[in-house]
Structure 1
Amino acid sequence: MNPNSGAIRIYGVDFSGARDPSGKLFVASGTLAADGSAFDLERVAMCDDRLDAFAMMLRSPAGSIWGWDVPFAPAGPAYDKLGFTAWEEWLSLAAGSSRSSFLEKLDAAFPPFETPCAAHGWACRHTDVVCRAASPFKRVQPNLRAMIYAGWKLLAYAREAGCAVFPFDDAGGTRGGPTLYEVYPSHTARLAGGARRLDLSAAAEATRAVAGWRLPPATEGVAGAVPSQDAADACVACLTLAAAYARERASLAGGGRPSFATDAEWAARRREGLIVRLAE
């Protein structure tokens, strides 16, 4: 595939909020044909540190898009508990706090919430309910409070560096940087039968079937089996964003409403964000 023929570079990140993310944070990347008909998954790389992924993002080609497996925002009712009115205040809180002080502030305002999201409220966004995702305030397996601390800090720095964050910013950022999208690989796995796969050919075929691609995405650029579930999730994040972008490019690039978004999700998007996903 010729990357100079209007093709789009797409990246998927299986994020980690751990103090030491080495061995837990992976970035998968590939190229989507300009007409959205084909996708080549070319590489999956392990990052020793979140700074590696951040630097990779800032150096990625103009017009590239990134899918991050981390909640970009809390639920709307959570704003009142901290007296916030704007999404940017959450990013500023993370960027301006130590890990311990951030987690202490959350623990003081939000009790544990460990069950999958079933109804909208302070713990669960509309988009979490639709995707049957965990609350951004979940504390155990995984600790999403630690993840959003690292994730929101990264989003704050990325926006300062000229990146755009969907659906809060215009695509392309303030200086033509990449655009970041929230993805949830487990949703894709559920649509494809519920199994999380280490075999990338099987994962690509499952994504093709769900997305309705005529041909399965090519995976020759990476090994047929990846070394860990984290690496596999990065690949599924990349495949998910590629498939969603192929179908919803006008909306995802132009700020319009994608067909998969519910009325409630779209109405709350400026406060709660939106998980980019394949339609059910």
Structure 2
Amino acid sequence: MSTNLAFKQEAPPEAPPVGAKKQRRDWTSQVKLVPGLVLLGIVFGIPLAWLLRMSFNTGLAGGAIQEGLSFDSYATFFESAFNLELIGRTLLLGLAVTAGAFLLGYPLALFLLRTQSKWKSILLVLALAPLLTSAVVRTFGWMVILGDRGIINQALLSIGLISEPLKLANNELGVTISLIEILMPYMILTVATGSSRLNDAVLEASATLGGNGLRTFFRVVIPLTLPGILTGCLLVFVLTISSFVTPALVGGGRVFLLATEIYDQAVQSLNWPLASAISFILIALFAGVLVGYQRLMARLDWNRN
């Protein structure tokens, strides 16, 4: 007599659908963003909302403010040829400083990225050391250097290249020179950290395929470091057009930009609605630059893929 023993095999627990797991993960990630979004709303959103509301008021004589919803401040700004010139001058300064910071900072960033020296870490610290010093302190230093009795003029006078001091301060030239030095570490840091795809293997492959130094630089080095270049240019440009301390001090009150005009309207003329309107015009410039940057990066990613 044979006995058949049947063993009941338990089915394994069903795994949750892939879509449900992904949805739960996305929901968890969104919840984690809530504290940061709330903090940003309190620190940035509320002040910006108050500033926007102030820009629609009307400034009266003596610093009085007439509550209302009016575009008088914006109309006053755009009706003035001087104010329109401020926009152009601010943008030109941003382009000049960005170009100078790139031309001087890009070679340094490549050197720090490619060097095999044992002093590499020390050199990197020295390149970024100016960021540890206040921009106000460095601005005062440039006021001394670029002055009529500064190091540059005294050196040129002593060797007989000039007969009278050059006008390097209290003008846009001095502001441009100062901002290039002050903001160049941002360019160096951004290019160096955003060029991780550039390595020895890529350069050796280019040399193997017959690329000389110049061709390798333009067809390999520049494309691989382009994301870092664009990010560095964006950072320097935005910091330049929003800078106030350096243009006010080195410019000696003779260099007029959007940032200095905001200060003059808010502190000297006590026209807070107009100062708020100019602030949002400057924010609009920021937004336009960011949109252009995003499109360039999207096109770069599309070409890469």
Q: TM-score normalised by the shorter chain: which range applies?
A: under 0.3
- Choose 1 or 2 for highest CA Rg: 2
Q: Which has the higher helix share?
A: 2
Q: What TM-score do the two structures reach when normalised by structure 1?
A: 0.22
Q: What TM-score do the two structures reach when normalised by structure 2?
A: 0.20
